[in-house]
Amino acid sequence: MLHTFFAAVLVSVCFVLEPVTWTTSAKSTERPAAEIAADVAVAERALLEAGRASSRTGEGYKANAKHYCELVAELERADSGHADLVRHLPVCWRLRVQSLDDAVAVDAELVKRLEATPDGTLAWPARAELVRTRMHLARGSSPEALKRLHGAFEDAVARHGERRELADLFYEYAASRTDDVTEQAALLKRFVEKYPQHPRAAVARERITQLGRLGGAFEVEFVDALTGNKVSTKDLRGKVLVIDFWATWCGPCMREMPRMKELYAKFKDQGVEFLGISLDKSEAEGGKQALIDVCTSQGLTWPQYYQGKHWESEFSRSWGIRSIPAVFLVDFEGKLVTTQARGQLEHLLPRELERAKAARK
């Protein structure tokens, strides 16, 4: 009933309101702020329900997000000092970037807002969202976009360095700088030094360890849990290797396996080999059998290194693995290319195969 009520309210409101722009410079509304604020609250609840009911990339969710943000913009035009805006505006900025493909406009609006009121009530959330917006715009590593991102981040640190909330933004920014290994390592070290007790500090230390080993040899030797055959990366030189740290109990790992299976089928005859590094539980706890059963039922035929000690397995710990799935890529010379190949294999594998082909000429 609640879902139906919110859906009905959302539909009726969407059809009676005139379209509004995002900016605060549009003509003034004739509706009182209290009435708009009430509509914003209803739209916010409808948005939350839509997020629970379906994907946040779906058209239904986007329609709810657009409607909610339009109402928030209307509220700001009616009363730019309304107390609810402190909560709603940052949400809208992020929705417009992540769901509504409006990052360029959000960037311009945030810059304009901060120039007008550099120390206002919304100064911190505006600077934080400007950094996140520029993280989004910097995907693809345009030098100019990265320069603007760096400037926004350092400005936020200089102005809000003592805010507790800065810690999360600091980690997000450091984690995003995959374009520059040296810069990312320096940022992560700064993060750990500044926030040694932060929940992400352990992950940051893991990443620092991994970054320090990029370009070096990746070597492992084990007995394949599926066939009993000996497997050694030294014997696989000349092939591009995908190293997948995973476990059968890991939900995200299992959700990604169908895609991993597709990629393996596509690239295995082109000079690519996959190696699974299992963080399943001990054999006494059924970990090895679970691994074999899942691989058999899912049709996963590439070699599997069953370590047998869950999170305490020596090999995965030596690589600082504290979260899975974690996917590494090793080039044809046996050198570690990246420890963040998850979700990037479609682009990385053809590139590494081309490098291998060029080297053989």
122 and 50, same structural domain?
Answer: yes
pLDDT at residue 351 in the model: 93
Q: How far apart are CA 140 and CA 138, in angstroms?
A: 6
Residues in CB range of 47: below 8 A, 6 or more apart: 61, 64, 65, 68
Q: How many domains does the chain have?
A: 2
Kindly state the tokens that stand for 142. Answer: 């345009």
Q: Has residue 232 got a pLDDT over 60? A: yes
Q: How far apart are CA 130 and CA 354, in angstroms?
A: 37
284 and 228, same structural domain?
Answer: yes
Quote the domain boundaries for residue 260: 221-360
* Residue range 277-303, pLDDT digits in tens: 999 999 999 999 999 999 999 999 999
Please check whether residue 216 lies inside any domain of the structure. Answer: no
- When pLDDT is cut at 50, 70 and 90, the band that residue 56 belongs to is confident
Phi-psi map region of 213: left, alpha, beta (phi>0 left; psi -120 to 50 alpha): alpha
The strand pairing partners of 30, in sequence order, are: none
270 and 178, same structural domain?
Answer: no
Q: How far apart are CA 59 and CA 100, in angstroms?
A: 10
181 and 243, same structural domain?
Answer: no
92 and 226, same structural domain?
Answer: no
Please check whether residue 356 lies inside any domain of the structure. Answer: yes
195 and 49, same structural domain?
Answer: yes
230 and 176, same structural domain?
Answer: no
Please check whether residue 34 lies inside any domain of the structure. Answer: yes
276 and 202, same structural domain?
Answer: no
Q: Has residue 322 got a pLDDT over 50? A: yes
| Of 211, 234, 257, the domain-final residue | 211
249 and 175, same structural domain?
Answer: no
230 and 165, same structural domain?
Answer: no
User: Average pLDDT in the 143-167 region?
Assistant: 95
Number of other residues whose CB lies within 10 A of the CB of residue 238: 13
**What CATH number does residue 26 fall under?**
1.25.40.10
pLDDT at residue 213 in the model: 87
123 and 72, same structural domain?
Answer: yes
pLDDT at residue 23 in the model: 52
* 305 contacts 313 by C-beta, under 8 angstroms: no
Please check whether residue 355 lies inside any domain of the structure. Answer: yes
pTM, two decimal places: 0.68
* 135 contacts 150 by C-beta, under 8 angstroms: no
**What CATH number does residue 271 fall under?**
3.40.30.10
Please check whether residue 200 lies inside any domain of the structure. Answer: yes
- When pLDDT is cut at 50, 70 and 90, the band that residue 58 belongs to is confident
pLDDT at residue 44 in the model: 96
Three-state secondary structure string covering 296-328: HHHCCCCCEEECCCHHHCHHHHHCCCCCCCEEE
Instruction: Write out the H or E segment, with its range, that includes residue 348.
Output: helix 345-360
| Of 211, 234, 250, the domain-final residue | 211
301 and 202, same structural domain?
Answer: no
